[in-house]
């Protein structure tokens, strides 16, 4: 529990302004698992948000259902003018993450529904659907939906996997106070698309061994139409070709002499994580940087050779990995962003896990006899802020 010194206005304001209205002391709780709590003495009004869990990715095997899609993101519901009474009970349910299939072929499971209620009002957000496999075209998973709030948004879908065996798509992003979650790119070749960032889609892939980077919290990663990979989207702009999208460099990269002058933005005491994620301005990572994590806000770069793609920063999607004759690993998404997909055919093929409320990436083994495992979706999330008179 955190004691705060601000109170949002009752007026309907953009999300970025809801945090900044100061008047009275408040008490904030964030939720990562189900619980109950008691309204504090002197509190008669509350602000709450709730996020459904992300769906798990599908695992496809060549010679069977050889196309697979990632899981979808959970829905979001929010209300900043809820009536409460001292000592009444608030019940919070946090949806369980969807599970990615594997090591055998199969569909991912859907994410669970999250909710918060005092028995009179209820905010609810369903989880994203799990990814699916098909021998022809695997349609993208559908995002969850919020209900009961002043604002209700839908989670991002995963891209369609079609045309060619070996196609795999990344996970969709969670919905948020800033709108519907972004979707991952489609795959129309033996290739893999990255995970979607909060508002930044991942690029479509349409050539063998193509791999797109993850979208950022604001901008998309580039589409890939050759046997190559694109960088992750940056918080200040989309990626283009192999370079990551622009942003502020928060940390010096290990092994370089570059000294960062930018500082990580500080979370204010009354700022839920899902709001803070949109105030991060990190760049996306370049393609081909195995396992490197983007700064907060940026998407991870894709990888078109053996190894692990770039990991998404807070709010940024994980990069995809695709390569014939190689072990490949799609990267995990940051909180609220999807995991990258993976398409390969040696030893191990794994999809990246989705962050909070986001979908896991699909895994596609082009060799039927080799194992593959898709990424899990992320669990749900929520917060409540009580206002003291």
CB neighbour list of residue 254: distance below 8 Å, 6 or more residues apart: none
Cα of first residue to Cα of last residue in the chain, in angstroms, is 18
Rounded to 5°, angle at Cα 370 from 366 and 374? 75
Distance CA 197, CA 245 (A): 13
What's the pLDDT score for residue 265? 61
What's the pLDDT score for residue 63? 67
Give the lowest-confidence range in 93-97, 139-143, 238-242, 369-373: 369-373
| 129 vs 136 pLDDT, higher one | 129
Distance CA 286, CA 342 (A): 17
Count CB-CB contacts under 10 A for residue 33. 11
Under the banding of pLDDT at 50, 70 and 90, the label for residue 27 is confident
pLDDT at 251 exceeding the cut of 70: no
Cα–Cα distance list, 193 to 124, 130, 271, 282 (Å): 30, 16, 32, 21
The predicted model gives 24-33 an average pLDDT of: 85
pLDDT at 126 exceeding the cut of 90: yes
What's the pLDDT score for residue 204? 97
The predicted model gives 218-226 an average pLDDT of: 96
Under the banding of pLDDT at 50, 70 and 90, the label for residue 329 is confident
CB neighbour list of residue 309: distance below 8 Å, 6 or more residues apart: 194, 211, 213, 229, 290, 300, 301, 302, 303, 318, 319, 320, 321, 329, 330, 331, 340, 342, 352
- Cross-strand partners of 4: 26
* Residue whose token pair is 């999300």: 15
pLDDT digit string, tens, across residues 165-209 = 899 999 999 999 999 999 999 999 999 999 999 999 999 999 999
What's the pLDDT score for residue 259? 43
Under the banding of pLDDT at 50, 70 and 90, the label for residue 4 is very low
What's the pLDDT score for residue 369? 67
352 neighbors 333 (Cβ within 8 angstroms): yes
The predicted model gives 334-359 an average pLDDT of: 93
Mean pLDDT of the chain: 88
Say what the alpha-carbon torsion angle 59, 62, 67, 73 is, to the nearest 10 degrees.
10
The predicted model gives 9-33 an average pLDDT of: 60
What's the pLDDT score for residue 261? 44
Cα 146 to chain centroid, rounded: 16
By the 10 Å C-beta count (0-12 exposed, 13-18 middle, 19+ buried), 369 is classed as exposed
pLDDT digit string, tens, across residues 260-271 = 444 556 656 678
What's the pLDDT score for residue 13? 47
pLDDT at 383 exceeding the cut of 70: yes
What's the pLDDT score for residue 18? 52
The pLDDT > 90 percentage for the chain reads: 72
The predicted model gives 79-86 an average pLDDT of: 95
The predicted model gives 335-348 an average pLDDT of: 90
pLDDT at 249 exceeding the cut of 90: no
pLDDT at 163 exceeding the cut of 90: no
CB neighbour list of residue 359: distance below 8 Å, 6 or more residues apart: 54, 55, 56, 57, 70, 71, 72, 73, 98, 111, 128, 131, 141, 155, 156, 158, 170, 171, 172, 173, 184, 195, 338, 339, 377
Distance CA 340, CA 342 (A): 7
What's the pLDDT score for residue 333? 97
By the 10 Å C-beta count (0-12 exposed, 13-18 middle, 19+ buried), 120 is classed as exposed
338 neighbors 361 (Cβ within 8 angstroms): yes
Under the banding of pLDDT at 50, 70 and 90, the label for residue 123 is very high
What's the pLDDT score for residue 77? 98
Burial 275-302 (b: 16+ CB within 10 A, else e): bbbbbbbbbbbbbbbbebbbbbbbbbbb
What's the pLDDT score for residue 134? 93
What's the pLDDT score for residue 289? 73
| 73 vs 9 pLDDT, higher one | 73
């Amino acid at each position: 529990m955190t004691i705060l010194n601000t109170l949002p206005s009752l007026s309907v304001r953009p999300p970025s302004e809801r945090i900044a209205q100061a008047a009275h002391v408040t008490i904030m709780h964030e939720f990562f698992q189900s619980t109950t709590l008691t309204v504090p003495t002197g509190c008669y009004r509350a602000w709450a948000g709730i996020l459904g869990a992300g769906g798990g990715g599908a695992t496809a095997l060549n010679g069977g259902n050889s196309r697979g899609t990632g899981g979808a993101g959970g829905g979001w519901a929010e209300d900043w003018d809820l009536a409460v009474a001292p000592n009444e009970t608030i019940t919070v349910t946090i949806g369980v993450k969807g599970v990615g299939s594997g090591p055998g072929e199969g569909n991912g499971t859907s994410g669970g529904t999250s909710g918060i209620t005092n028995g009179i009002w209820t905010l609810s957000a369903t989880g994203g659907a799990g990814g699916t496999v098909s021998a022809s075209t695997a349609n993208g998973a559908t995002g969850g939906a919020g209900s009961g709030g002043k604002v209700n948004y839908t989670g991002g879908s995963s891209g369609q996997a079609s045309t060619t065996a070996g196609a795999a798509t990344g996970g969709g992003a969670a919905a948020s106070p800033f709108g519907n979650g972004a979707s991952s790119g489609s795959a129309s070749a033996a290739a893999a698309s990255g995970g979607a960032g909060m508002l930044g889609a991942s690029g479509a892939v349409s050539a063998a061994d193509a791999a797109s980077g993850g979208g950022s919290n604001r901008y998309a990663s580039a589409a890939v139409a050759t046997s190559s990979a694109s960088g992750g989207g940056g918080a200040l702009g989309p990626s283009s070709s192999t370079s990551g999208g622009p942003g502020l460099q928060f940390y010096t990269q290990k092994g370089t002499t570059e000294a960062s002058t930018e500082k990580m933005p500080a979370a204010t005491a009354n700022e839920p994580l899902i709001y803070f994620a949109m105030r991060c301005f990190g760049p996306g990572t370049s393609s081909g940087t195995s396992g490197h994590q983007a700064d907060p806000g940026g998407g991870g770069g894709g990888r078109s050779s053996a190894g692990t793609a770039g990991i998404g920063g807070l709010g940024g999607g994980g990069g995809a990995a695709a390569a014939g004759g190689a072990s490949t690993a799609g990267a995990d998404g940051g909180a609220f962003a999807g995991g990258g997909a993976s398409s390969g055919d040696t030893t191990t093929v794994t999809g990246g896990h989705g962050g909070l409320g986001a979908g896991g990436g699909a895994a596609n083994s082009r060799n039927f006899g080799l194992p593959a495992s898709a990424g899990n979706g992320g669990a749900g999330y929520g917060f409540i802020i009580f206002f003291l008179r």
